[in-house]
Every structure is written in C-alpha cells, then in structure tokens.
Amino acid sequence: MREFDAIFIGAGQAGPFLAARMASKGRRVALIERKYLGGTCVNAGCMPTKTLVASARTAHVARRAAEYGVQIGGDISVEMNTVRARAVKVTMDAREGLRTWFEALETMSVIHGEARFQDAHTITVGHEKMTAPQIFINVGARPSIPDYPGLADVPYLTSTSIIQLDTLPRHLIVIGGSYIGLEFGQMYRRFGARVTVIERSPRLASREDEDISDAIADIMRAEGIAIHTGATGLSFRATGGDIEVATDGGVIVGSHILVATGRRPNTDDLGLETAGVKMDERGYIVVDDRLSTNVEGIWALGDCNGRGAFTHTSYNDFEIVAANLLDGADRKLSDRIPAYALYIDPPLGRVGMTERQARASGRPILVSTRPMSRVGRAVEKGETQGFMKIVADADTRQILGAAILGIEGDEAIHGIIDAMNAKTPYPALQWSVPIHPTVSELVPTLIADLKQLS
C-alpha cells in the first residue's frame, strides 16, 4: 500500500493544477491518468478544435479575398493532412509541456492506468493499491451516443474521432445542432464539404434566446449549410459507400456521420458505489457549494460534477478548492457567473441570464439590442452578421446577462463579464470611454438604449 497526502484521478484542467500546488508545498501527491495528460481540452476539445477552426477561417477569408481588393490566382483548396498535422502539433506540444512540468515536481507521482475505488480512501490501479486522506476526482466526460435505430450498425464519428480525419468528407451529416455540432458543421463546410445539420429541437442552440438561435441559423445557411430542425424518427442504414439517415421528413444520404448529441461523465467505471459517493440520474457526481461530495475527504472537479462543461469552469473548480484548502478562503460555486462562447464564425460570447431566463425570474427587466451592422469594427472588416444584447435589472441596475453574436464577440463580452463579477451597476459602464474602433465601444451605447419590457 502506497501512502500519499492526496490522490488525483484524472489529468484534466482542474486536478493537475491543484496537485501541482500541493506538490510545490512538499505534499506527496499521486496523479492517475488512464490515457493522456491534459484531458479533453488539450486532446479532443478546445485546443485541437479551435486550431481547426482557425484553419477553416483562413480558407473562408481567402475565398473572400476579392471583396477586399486582394487577388488570389486559382481556386482555394484545403490540404487536410496539413490541417490535421497542425492540430496534432498543438495538442502534442501542450501534452509535452505538462509532462515536463510534472516531472520537475519532486513529490508528485504520475501514474498511468485505470483507477478504481476499493473503499472511500483506497484506490487501486491494476494490482497496485494506494491511499490518501484526500481524493480528488477529475475524470471529465465523453461523447454521449443515442440509441437511434441502426446507428450502431453504421460507421460514425464523434467530436473526438473527427479530429483525426485527414480526408475531406463528401457530405458530412451532423446529428445535433448545438455547440459542438455547429462548430464542426461550419468548419467542414469551409474546408469544402457539403454539410447538413439535423436537430430534433425546434431550433439550433436551443439553450439560447430565440433571436440568437435564429441569427445562428442565418449564419449557417448563408454558408450553404442545410439545416433540418424538429427532426424526429431518426434511423440509420448503410447503403453502398454511403449512409442513409431517415427522419419523419425524408431521407438524407451522406458520406460521413458526426454524432454531436451531448456528453456524459466518465464515472461509470470508478467504483464510486463502493466508496459511497453519490451520483445523480445522469451519472454526474453530486457536489456541494465547495465541490465536496457526500463522502468526507472526496471532491469532484470539472465536467464530471455537472456544474460546468468548459475548460474555464473546470479550472475555476481548481481555484475554488485551492483557495479553500490551501489559502484559508471560503469560495463557493454559487458565486460563479456562467459565461461561455460558441466558436462558430462570427462567435457568440455569452454571460449570465438569457432574456428568457430573466423574464421567468419575475423581476422588472431592461433589454437592449444593437445590430453588428452598427459597429464600426464589423463594418470595416466586412463582417456585420449578428447583434449585441444586454439584459439588466430595472430595480438594482445590475446587469443580468449579455450576448454578443458577432465578430470578436468572444473577446468583447469580457468587459461585461468583469462588470458583473465586480457587481458594477450598468450606468458606470455607460459613462466609460472605450477605444474606437472596437466592438466593445458599442457597450455604452447598448446600455443607453436599455428599455423596460412590458
């Protein structure tokens, strides 16, 4: 039995950073990873996918070069081997950086293998046993595959396996019209594939307000992407070298299928029931406001706790636990204001409540919108799709939420994120003097146009 001060299961974007902090203080820690250091973000999420998005955008801008007075001889083509190699290099460089960092920490042991609870404070990896008074679970999530008729009998891609493609699909059918599906759909359309998106909900990105969803659909359709919403009765059948996708609305034939219908936590093979750790009906580990499970001495961080599905929320889980355990603070999950981005192009930056959520809260709200066609930066760059929206509380004058769907929206949203975290009343932003010409310079104008809804 090996004894440690702390054991970390999973090397994603939360546990390893806490492990490294503890190791830097001389504590003996074990970091167990069954596959690759870095978790989803480094290996199958943000880093490789946003690298692919950058390649796709480059192709898109090149095709529009004549609009800017730039002449490029011949057709624009994409070399998928090079595209994939570039994404692989970004991943491998990040993974190697983590390996080098961890090897330099004298009291950290990196153990590769499958971890399983034997009891609440004993972990087995193969035939090896180890124990610690503190155990941190950071095992992440994986693509969830629905039980559609015939799907198991046809070849399909997930958000993990599609990254490995080094050829261009003739016709990519994306099952799922939410964030992952939309990003890959636009990406592969820009690479040159025909793309169809099938979504069972009435609209794309159904978490968003209806006007945001409609604008996203307009952006996708403008690039030649076929969209089928409200699709029911899906079934799949291989036919020759293609795949037939049947819905109640007809049959669509494609060369490749991407299943992008959500994710599920990697908690089903950890032996959590042996440790007495409580999970919800979807398999997410139940945690309190400080990320503790129901078992003393066990915490769950990152995607596997269902309290955030992003790299930045996972990293914030690390920050909360590190502050509370190592710095004498009392930080809580409930203090976190949700924020995220959808990396289609132009991107969507989002923070806080949607307008729909604010209305449902029953409070008096103010709303303002402004088309990106009124933003100088967007006009100058020739990218005026989308709009900006802000929602505020009429009584407290606090910003409740905002959305910027448009060029650089994922960056411009941060001024509002910062204001919300600082609890700055919106009039203070109205009288700021932002730099011209930027997307952020429209925020004071947006705030000035706030109007109360009936």
- The CATH number of residue 17's host domain is 3.50.50.60
**pLDDT tens column, 394-430:** 999 999 999 999 999 999 999 999 999 999 999 999 9
Does residue 400 sit in the same domain as residue 329? Answer: no
Does residue 184 sit in the same domain as residue 276? Answer: no
**pLDDT tens column, 360-396:** 999 999 999 999 999 999 999 999 999 999 999 999 9
Name the binding residues for NAD(+): 176-183, 199, 262
pLDDT for the residue 73: 87
Mean pLDDT computed over 41-49 = 95
pLDDT for the residue 150: 98
pLDDT for the residue 453: 79
Does residue 94 sit in the same domain as residue 131? Answer: yes
pLDDT for the residue 127: 94
Name the binding residues for FAD: 50, 303
**pLDDT tens column, 225-280:** 999 999 999 999 999 899 999 999 899 999 999 999 999 999 999 999 999 999 99
**β-pair partners for 18:** none
Does residue 54 sit in the same domain as residue 112? Answer: yes
pLDDT at residue 221 above 90? yes
Active site residue 436: yes
Q: Which of 315, 335, 355 is the endpoint of a domain?
A: 335
Does residue 30 sit in the same domain as residue 56? Answer: yes
At residue 74 the predicted structure's pLDDT band, cuts being 50, 70 and 90, is confident
Q: Which residues fall within 8 angstroms of residue 294, CB to CB, at 6 or more apart?
A: 276, 277, 278, 286
pLDDT at residue 27 above 90? yes
Q: Is residue 33 within 8 Å of residue 109, measured between CB atoms?
A: no
Q: Please name the residue ranges forming H helices in 361-436.
A: 376-381, 409-421, 426-430
Does residue 128 sit in the same domain as residue 12? Answer: yes
**pLDDT tens column, 335-357:** 999 999 999 999 999 999 999 99
Global confidence as pTM:
0.96
Residue 386, domain extent: 339-452
pLDDT at residue 137 above 90? yes
pLDDT for the residue 284: 98
Does residue 92 sit in the same domain as residue 37? Answer: yes
Does residue 16 sit in the same domain as residue 132? Answer: yes
Catalytic entry in 112, 228, 256, 436? 436
Does residue 410 sit in the same domain as residue 272? Answer: no
β-pair type (128-131, 2-3):
parallel
| Residue 316 CA to its chain's centroid (Å) | 14
Mean pLDDT computed over 316-343 = 97
pLDDT at residue 454 above 80? no
Mean pLDDT computed over 71-90 = 95
Q: Which of 335, 352, 376 is the endpoint of a domain?
A: 335
Q: Which residues fall within 8 angstroms of residue 288, CB to CB, at 6 or more apart?
A: none
Find the CATH number of the domain harbouring 370: 3.30.390.30
Query: Any idea what the Cα angle at residue 209 is, between residues 203 and 213, rounded to 5°?
Result: 40
Dihedral Cα 77, 82, 87, 93, nearest 10 deg:
-150
Does residue 272 sit in the same domain as residue 319? Answer: yes
Per DSSP (E only), the strands in 39-127 are 108-112, 115-119, 122-125
pLDDT at residue 147 above 80? yes
Does residue 34 sit in the same domain as residue 88? Answer: yes
What's the total number of domains in the chain? 3
Does residue 377 sit in the same domain as residue 412? Answer: yes
| Residue 41 CA to its chain's centroid (Å) | 9
Could you tell me the maximum CA-CA distance found in the chain, to the nearest angstrom? 70
CA-to-CA dists, residue 60 to 55, 180, 352, 412, angstroms: 9, 19, 31, 22
| Residue 97 CA to its chain's centroid (Å) | 22
Q: What are phi and psi of 236, to 5 degrees?
A: -130, 145
Q: Which of 215, 245, 261 is the endpoint of a domain?
A: 261
